Structure 1
Amino acid sequence: MTEIIARPAAGARPTHAQRKATKAAVTQQAPAQSERDTLALQVAEILQTMFMAAAYNDNDGPRELHNSHLNAVDHLLDLLLAPECHDRASEDPAFGETREHLALIASELEFAAVLMEERELSGVPLPAQTAYGAIVRHAAEYADRLFMAYCADSLDDLRHLTSFAGMRPFRDRPQPPIRRVEQEDEVANELNREQLASVLEHVATSANLLNDLLTRVPQIEGVPSEVQSLVSMAQFMIRQIGAAADQATGSWIVGGLNEWNCGSDFAQLGKAGAA
């Protein structure tokens, strides 16, 4: 039998089929993802949206002004959310180490927020810098809550962070007492289910229209860069309001948070036949 098997000549290069087979043989299989990791990645996608609103706003944004902590966050989020598309350095967390990724992201975002609060960004108008700083601070607090929720025994906190209520800034100060009104006033002012849905649909539709109008501002010739920065911040906040109202009424106007921030065709991205 051995006499009829063709042996490759000494120094011969492997064929394309041989290289492909060898590569397939050594490719590591990704471990099965737990519900904890699945929820954490969903929250990390929301965190990435917050982060990009400040770090990638325009050429005058904080990331372009040598805030190395934002560069680190950008890299770590890429490794966590799309590990197959980015190179992993020796000092980076290992593939599948979600907890270590989240700990480093929270730490770097906290450093970035402190740096933005302590150091003025040259060339950036004060209102825009304040807006950048507020978003990065919100993202840092959200990342810290994500890490703590991931480490908790229960998954309830992780599930909460995927909701609109969970994305809102955390406030631990006591709430003022609620003034009770007369029962007849409550009944008179209470909206029924259809009325409430109509109000929320109006909010979502108006937010979508306003977002479209603001998108045209940078196209106007001669608009100062500081005005464009403030418009971009306003668009970010409007999209969050619109997404909350839209989701509460069935997400039929634009969609969920991802559709509002990334486009109405978000669900079709990467699928066969998608444009």
Structure 2
Amino acid sequence: MTPQVKAFFDDATNTVSYVVRDPKGSACAVIDSVLDFDHASGRTDTSSADEIIAYIRDTGLKVEWVLESHVHADHLSAAPYIQEKLGGKIGIGDQITVVQDTFGKVFNEGTEFQRDGSQFDALFKEGDSFQIGQMRGDVLHTPGHTPACLTYVIGDAAFVGDTLFMPDFGTARCDFPGGSSETLFNSIQKILALPDETRIFVGHDYKAPGRDEYAWETTVGEQKALNVHIGKGRSIEEFTRMRDERDSTLPMPRLILPSLQVNMRAGQMPPPDEKGDVFLKLPVNKL
């Protein structure tokens, strides 16, 4: 089956969100939505999510799933906002519990913060499947960037989150807590084992040098032949050496601290204080 895929590109965070539709009906899923956040003022905005909501309403679709490929470190999730407006269940990988335990400590969340993934409606593991109308989705656990990373294989399309980028840009960084370049290499092999014609939809694009337009769709065959980090049969030793050296030079994402606090809660803000005010923490020398 070939799902219909509509992409929404967020310029502020270089994130690509997707609406994936059952071609034989009106059921759909939203993957990796964005809640706009201005770091300087601490203000949120729903413009990006509202664009997705308007498209779904205008085309008469019904949301069955609001899916996260992982706990994003570069943007806040709009999953609960979309769920409030359109319904659907929020899903993520079951290793979210590892991420919650790690960053619950970083942000000194205390015992009131549940680290069991209960903020989400569904926790997926390797080999799980789900339905979008008559269309089946299959789950690949593809850690390495983070412990909870998933690839959603829906018909002839694979939504890989940050695991792979466009072939001319390469692969995900592995230097966040719980990341591993060796693990990422092995995860990518699962994706490259899919049929060559499988469409791959990436979670971000940054326009590689020499490319003028943003892009987010490629294929397994193109990744195997052309990916600058993993293509042409690169060995695990070559890959891990390149990845680790490269990661040591990368700065932290601009929105990593607010993003992690919100996204490990399934897109919800931390609980308000007695006055109803919400605060995000700024841990010092923790990352």
Q: Which has the higher helix share?
A: 1
- TM-score, scaled to structure 1: 0.27
TM-score, normalization by structure 2: 0.26
